[in-house]
Amino acid sequence: MSYKIFTLSPGSTSTKCAVFEDDKCLFKENISHEPEVLKQFPTVNSQRPFRVGVVMAVLHSHGFQLRDMDAFAAYSGGLESTPGGVFPVNQKMLVDAMSGRIADHPAVLGSQIIGEFSTALGKPAYVIDPPDVDEFEDHARISGIKGIYRESHVHVLNHKEVARRMASELGRKYEDCNFVVCHVGGGLSVAAHCKGKIIDANDVVNGDGPMAPNRTGYVPLLPLVKKCYSGSYTFEDIKALIAREGGLKSLMGTDDILEIKKLRDGGDKWAGLVYDAFAYNLAKYIGSYACVLEGKVDAIIMTGGVSNDEEFIENIRRYAGWIAPVKAYGGDFEMEALAAGALRVLRGEEETKEYTGEPVFSGFEYEPE
């Protein structure tokens, strides 16, 4: 039999939704919300009725009703760390998402909205590979400062979807392959995927890894510390530099890779240097994660919006193509990943996992005082 699946991803200023029949997309929309409208809501949770109303209107405009769906699937944050997988929405998940204790971002509405639909219609609701997935091995957590541990914050949903696609192209299962996967959008995450698990990756939230279009990534530490203590910057200023105003935006005043190429082609030598350094910086991390995989890399996979730039991909091939073949899946496959995860469960191809609210990692029991 075929299955109709509704997918949902609430973002800061938009809500993505789609309907699939099995793996065929029947419609997909990215609904933008005016900042002035969102400012009317004092909390993220208070946006929920508004976002439900907008989604319902779009669903109806495409000729669908909620009762037509066989399952609901969402991208949802605000959870304790989990392994990767498909998680039926349960009460503990809803409590954690609603609390805002772990995250206060509109992504927390994902589980809440599909949970509401599930309760009303008696259809299953799933959260697929949430952003809180943590599959690190212990030695990947260690940093050079006692008590500061590396954390897993990557574009998990898109990472795992393109990895599954690459594995399928190779005629294998994701769980049997080793990949280095790079999501290059506004943020940038690069990870080592070993036999179906992300065993190491840069931390996009805390400023680890290569520079991104609008994030600094790693920078030399002492010069940054001097900025912090110069008296010219507040904590919020430095946080914004790391998370929103760094990388290409800091260097060029824009995070648009195509605009930077246009400046380069017009004779701007600085733009040319920055453009080349962007791929060079990422390639160094690709090499490091190839080491994590002990050199056994089946493919290097590029995804995210910047991966539509063929010249950028060729630069990555020039630097890192000797490690493994480089495959680009430009754009993001968030909706497709949600539908595919739900479909695997509905077809009996994958077992669901229970969300317990117990974090994967809460410190090393054997660490000395």
Return the percentage of the chain with pLDDT > 70, whole number.
Answer: 100
The DSSP string of 7-30 is EEEE-SSEEEEEEEETTEEEEEEE
Contact partners, residue 257, CB within 8 Å, separation at least 6: 213, 248, 275, 278, 306, 309, 312
Can you read off the two tokens belonging to residue 44?
A: 């993220």
Q: pLDDT per residue over 128-180, tens digit each?
A: 999 889 999 999 999 999 989 999 999 999 999 999 999 999 999 999 999 99
Q: Give the model's confidence band at 367: pLDDT under 50 very low, under 70 low, under 90 confident, else very high.
A: confident
Reported pTM = 0.93
- 200-204 mean pLDDT: 94
- pLDDT score for 12: 86
Q: What is the DSSP string of 156-188?
A: HHHHHHHHHHHHHHTTS-GGG-EEEEEEESSSE
Per-residue pLDDT at 82 exceeds 90: yes
Set out the domains of the chain in order of their start, with CATH numbers. 4-135+335-346 (3.30.420.40), 156-331 (3.30.420.40)
pLDDT bin (cut points 50, 70, 90) of residue 102 is confident
| Sign of torsion over alpha carbons 216, 220, 225, 226 | negative
- pLDDT score at 23: 93
Predicted confidence (pLDDT) per residue in 16-52, tens digit: 999 999 999 999 999 999 989 999 999 999 999 999 9
Length of the chain: 369
How far is residue 178 from each of residues 105, 151, 170, 326, measured CA to CA in Å? 32, 21, 12, 13
Query: Is residue 103 left, alpha or beta, with left meaning phi > 0 and alpha meaning psi from -120 to 50?
Result: beta
Q: Is the per-residue pLDDT at 369 higher than 80?
A: no
Residue 198 backbone phi and psi in degrees, to 5? -90, 100
